[in-house]
Amino acid sequence: MSRTMKRFILLMMVVLLSACTAPPKKDLALDRVRGELDDLKSNPELAGYAPLAVGEAERALRQAELASGDDLYRAYLVYMADRRIQIARTMAEREQHEQALDELEKQRSDMLIKASQLEADQARMDAERARLLVATTTEDAQRAREEKEQAEQKEAESARAAQLSAEEADQARRLAESRASEAEYARLEADLASQQITSLTRQLENLQLRETESGVVVTLGDVLFASGQTTLVEGGRSSLAEVVDLLQTEPDKKIRVEGHTDSLGDAETNLQLSEKRAQAVLEALVSMGVSSERISALGMGEDFPIASNEDEEGRARNRRVDVILLDN
Amino acid sequence: MKLIFIAFVCLFFAACASVRPDVAIFDPVEQAILVAEAAGGDEFAPVEMRFAREKLASAKKGMEKEKYEVAVYLLEEAEINAELAIEKSRTAKSRRRVNELRKSNEELDARMRATFGDEFK
């Protein structure tokens, strides 16, 4: 091989090498891609993440920068570099997310820890309160126990005393029994009294009652008799039922039935009328269970009005039969 | 002299451009697109998915027309788009998780404050 031939080959080798390694021409697309990588690497939020992917992007970009040859090939390399950078950026973002997730998880568990501490604090406070309560209760219990012991001692003493004399004990028992029956009796009486009071109260609500010097007076208005009549109207007996109930609450007291009239008409007639009416009420009461031995009837005529005889309303009030539960 | 030059040119092309490729070279790219689809690429990276599919189709066409060099470039570009779609989908999901957890923490914080008042934090 001649020297010129050798030189030529050498030259071609150089050309070949330069074809593959020659610095590229000014390339806008390449500049843009380089800018993207620089942007990724200088981004304060993403810098340092996904180093392997960034390295790959770096290599792809350098390959594109160093490439020579046809535009198609170089465009391909630039495109690949661009995609590599985007992959690197995406992976960097994901790594950043993962770090954020770690921080958020930590934040969450810190919150839960804090919450459980506060809950524990509350529980401790509750427990302290409960402990104090228990302590107080224990003191109370202690006191109660001491009192009980004292009582038991006393009981034991009295038991011993009781043992000393069986007769004494027996007496004591009898006494206790009689006391118990007395108490029972008293209770029954009280019950009875309260029952009476209740029924009396009920009757007092329905009947026209007055307290007088001679005793309790039940006034029966002029509904019992028709005008001028001396027999009870139909239904008059039923209105006496309450009076009978009232009278039977005081079975020991005497009863006087007084008839009164208004001042119309002649006084003698009125007297007779009042007497007959009083007698009619007496008979009705006796027929309804009031003992005839404790009841008497009296005509009072027109001389004991309880209201004015000047008007019909007053006269109506004066036409009445008084049933008096005598105090003596 | 002329022969040597031609030989160098051929050598150059052989070095820098691809030669007639095997049909099997489509397989990994199609695989990558399937993975990207499974990762939710159509939802999270629709542009990249389209690029990947279109470039794969173009690569196949180029191969049929025996434009091997272009076809190989397109194939590479299709594959890297599928790869980018996968990464973007995964990142979108991690972003969603971050947002969800952040929101959930804020809710927890509000609930704690409501329960424990100013003692909390």
Tell me the pLDDT tens digit for each residue of A193-242: 766 656 555 545 556 777 777 788 888 877 778 787 888 877 777 778 87
Task: Kindly write down the DSSP assignment for every residue of A225-256, as one continuous string.
Answer: B-TT--SBPTTHHHHHHHHHHHHHTSTTS-EE
Report the predicted TM-score, pTM, of the whole model to 2 decimal places.
0.48
Q: Is residue B9 situated within a structural domain? A: no
Looking at the domain assignment, is residue B42 inside a domain? yes
Q: Do B87 and A111 touch (CB under 8 A)?
A: no
Bigger pLDDT: A222 vs A96: A96
Nearest to B105 by CA among A214, A112, A8: A112
For residues B62 and B20, give the distance between their C-alpha atoms in angstroms, rounded to a whole number.
12
DSSP per residue, A42-72? H-TTTTTSSHHHHHHHHHHHHHHHH--S-HH
Band the pLDDT of A16: cuts 50, 70, 90.
low
Report residue A174's pLDDT band, with 50, 70 and 90 as the boundaries. Answer: confident
Per-residue pLDDT tens for B48-71? 999 999 999 999 999 999 999 999
Q: Which residue has the higher pLDDT, A134 or A300?
A: A300
Give one word for A228, left, alpha or beta, with left for phi > 0 and alpha for psi -120 to 50. left
- Cα distance from B72 to chain A (closest Cα, Å)? 10
Tokens standing for residue A279: 């007698």
Q: Is B8 part of a structural domain of the chain? A: no
Residues of the domain holding B75: 20-119
For residues B69 and B116, is the Cβ–Cβ distance under 8 A?
A: no
Contacts of B73 in chain A (CB under 8 A): 72-73, 76
Contact A108 B105 (CB under 8 A): yes
CA distance A112 to chain B (A): 9
| Complex prediction ipTM | 0.80
User: What is the distance in angstroms between the Cα of A195 and the nearest Cα belonging to chain B?
Assistant: 59
Q: Which residue of A has its CA nearest to B7?
A: A12
* A195 dihedral zone (left: phi>0; alpha: psi -120 to 50; beta): alpha
Contacts of A73 in chain B (CB under 8 A): 16-17, 69, 73
CATH (domain of B26):
1.20.1270.390
All residues of chain A having their beta carbon less than 8 Å from the beta carbon of residue B98 are 97, 100-101, 104
φ and ψ at residue A158, rounded to 5 degrees: -70, -30
B15 and A20 within 8 Å at the Cβ level: the answer is yes
pLDDT of amino acid A155: 84
Q: Which residues of B touch A112 (CB under 8 A)?
A: 108
Residues of A in contact with B9 (CB under 8 A): none
At residue A169, the pLDDT reads 61
Q: Please write the tens of the pLDDT for every residue from A23-69.
A: 445 678 899 999 999 999 999 999 899 999 999 999 999 999 998 87
**CB–CB contact A104 B98 (8 Å):** yes
Partners of A325 in beta bridges: A216, A255
pLDDT score at B10: 44
**pLDDT tens, residue by residue, A261-293:** 888 888 888 899 889 989 999 998 998 888 889
- Number of domains comprising chain B: 1
Residue B44 lies in a domain: yes
Which residue in B3, B98, B109 has the most chain A C-beta atoms within 10 A of its own C-beta, making it the best mutation to test that interface? B98
- Mention every residue, 6+ apart, whose C-beta is less than 8 A from residue A1: none
B57 lies in some domain: yes
**Bridge-partner residues for A216, per DSSP?**
A211, A325
B11 found inside a domain = no
Identify all chain A residues contacting B120, using CB atoms and an 8 Å cutoff: 114-115, 118
Which helix (H) or strand (E) segment is A211 a member of? strand A209-211
Residues of A in contact with B36 (CB under 8 A): none
Closest CB from A9, A80, A101 relative to B97: A101
Q: B120 and A107: CB-CB below 8 Å?
A: no
Residue percentage of chain A with pLDDT more than 90? 26
Domains belonging to chain A, first-starting first, are: 3-108 (no CATH), 200-326 (3.30.1330.60)
- Size of the A and B interface in Cβ pairs below 8 Å: 87
Q: Do A105 and B4 touch (CB under 8 A)?
A: no
Is residue B29 one of the residues assigned to a domain?
Answer: yes
Q: Is residue B1 part of a domain?
A: no
